[in-house]
Amino acid sequence: MSISLQEIVFYVVAACITVFSVMAVTTGRLLRAATYLLFVLFGTAAIYGILGYTFLGAVQLMVYAGGIVVLYVFSIMLTRSNKDMKYRIGYAKLFSVLASVIVGAGLMLFLIMTNGFALNVIPQGDELPVEKVGMALMGMDKYQFLLPFEAVSVLLLACMIGAILIARKEK
């Protein structure tokens, strides 16, 4: 048996991610697109799990699947949207989309292959201890990220205040 169970799981998850990403952008219904996006995010979380980074996997589930997608669904439900988005796509547009997709995929493949990521074996899933993640996020030494962490939270706060200002009715 040259292929391990972990690799089989990885390829199944990767195939699911690919299929659902394509479905998310090709479906004509807004809420279905959000649901396919949810499946893609599940797949990403599963890949983090395979890599042993369960903390990021759980964060992925909580923030993206349980937070962002819920917000999408909420906003789709609250706004009056056309259930079937039947846009006609012209040939010129279709051709340019296909060309950019192929060029982008080629560039990605080139970068991955020359970097040697794809040639590496999938690392065996030893779980990354939470203490290590916490120390890296909250430490002040080299390769520790307290300043970016705090800066990002200030940025989020600014975004929220901005959103409230825009949404507020003028008195």
Partner 1 sequence: MNDYYNLEALTSVIHAALCGVMPEWVALTIECVIVGVIIILLYAVLAVIMIYMERKVCAAFQCRIGPNRVGGKGGLLQVPADVLKILIKEIFTPAHVDKFLYSLAPYLVILASVFTFSCLPWNNGGLILHMNIGIFFVLAASSIGVLGILLAGWSSDSKYTLMGAMRSGAMIISYELSIGISVLTMVVMAGTMDIHELVMGQADGWNIFKGHIPAILAFIIYLIAGNAEANRGPFDLAEAEQELTAGYHTEYSGMHFGFFYLAEYMNLFITAGIATTIFLGGWMPLHVPGLDGFNAVMDYIPGIVWFLGKTFLVIFLLMWIRWTYPRLRIDQILTLEWKYLMPSALVVLVLMTFCTLMGWTF
Q: Give whichever of 77 and 147 is closer to partner 1, judged by the CB atom.
A: 77
User: Within 83-142, which residues bind partner 1 (CB under 8 A)?
Assistant: 127, 129-130
Supply the DSSP string of 99-112, one letter for each residue.
Answer: HHHHHHHHHHHHHH
Q: Are 81 and 30 in contact (CB under 8 A)?
A: yes
Q: What angle do the packed helices 69-78 and 30-50 form, to 10 degrees?
A: 170
Q: Give whichever of 2 and 114 is closer to partner 1, judged by the CB atom.
A: 2
Minimum distance, C-beta of residue 122 to partner 1, in the bound complex (Å): 14
Q: Does 29 bind partner 1 (CB under 8 A)?
A: yes
- In this structure, what token pair is assigned to residue 10? 């990885």
Out of 14, 19, 54, 144, point to the residue binding partner 1 (CB under 8 A).
Answer: 54
Q: Tell me the site size for partner 1, rule CB under 8 A.
A: 27
